[in-house]
Amino acid sequence: MKPQERVFFKDPVKLIQSRLEQISQIALFQRTQMERVTAHFKHKSVELERHLKEVSEQAYRQLSELKRENANFKKQLSELKRETADLKKPLSQRRVSPGQFQIDGNQRMSLPVAVTSPVTPRPRTMSYMGSAESQVWARDRGHSLSSLTLPLFTATVHFMDTVSVVKTLTFGCNMQSIFNH
């Protein structure tokens, strides 16, 4: 008999046993592979759960920190709005003097705002004389009365601007402008 024909005349029990061995080997291989794949996915899911937990905790911490920052910014904004509203009011309606500033909620000593008394920028050489006496005095010294520049008043005001720089204004009027009119 030919070898191709012999297959059909084998003992059916032996044929079934050989096929069952092949099937059991295949089933065993598939089962071990399934266990390996299942173990891999279990390990991967544990890793992903741990990573998800870390990320969610970090996000919660960041959210808490951002909420605190937001509360601080809202507080600063309300303080700045109140300060701006105070600055918009005229000085007569404010609760503090113009030289005082508040920084971080603490009131700071400020430089004084002063108005000096009227002073003459140059020394006076003349005492009070009548108009005839002053004309004689000016003529003796070679001056006419209209060329004299005598201060009527001078007032100096020191104040602080918003960047803490002391500025000075001097107001004055001289006698020459009065005599020429």
pTM flag (> 0.85):
no
- Is residue 148 within 8 A of residue 134, CB to CB? The reply is no
Cα torsion through 50, 52, 55, 60, rounded to 10: -110
| Domain boundary assignment for the chain | 3-71, 109-179
Q: Which of 108, 77, 109, 113 minimizes the C-alpha distance to 98?
A: 113
Q: How confident is the model at residue 153 (pLDDT cuts 50, 70, 90)?
A: very low
Segment 59-99, tens digit of pLDDT: 999 999 999 999 999 999 999 999 998 888 877 666 655 55
Those residues with Cβ within 8 angstroms of residue 15's Cβ, 6 or more apart along the chain or in another chain: none
Q: How many residues does the chain have?
A: 181
Secondary structure letter of residue 145 according to DSSP? G
**What would the two tokens of residue 82 be?**
């109140």
**CA-to-CA distance for 81 and 75, rounded, in angstroms?**
10
Ramachandran angles phi, psi of 158, nearest 5°: -105, 130
Residue 158 is classified by DSSP as E
**Contact residues for 63 (Cβ-Cβ < 8 A; gap 6+):** none
Q: Give me the mean pLDDT over the 139-144 stretch.
A: 56
Give the tens place of pLDDT for each residue, 2-57.
Answer: 888 877 788 888 889 999 999 999 999 999 999 999 999 999 999 999 999 999 99
Rg (CA), the chain: 52
Q: By three-state DSSP, how is residue 113 classified? A: coil
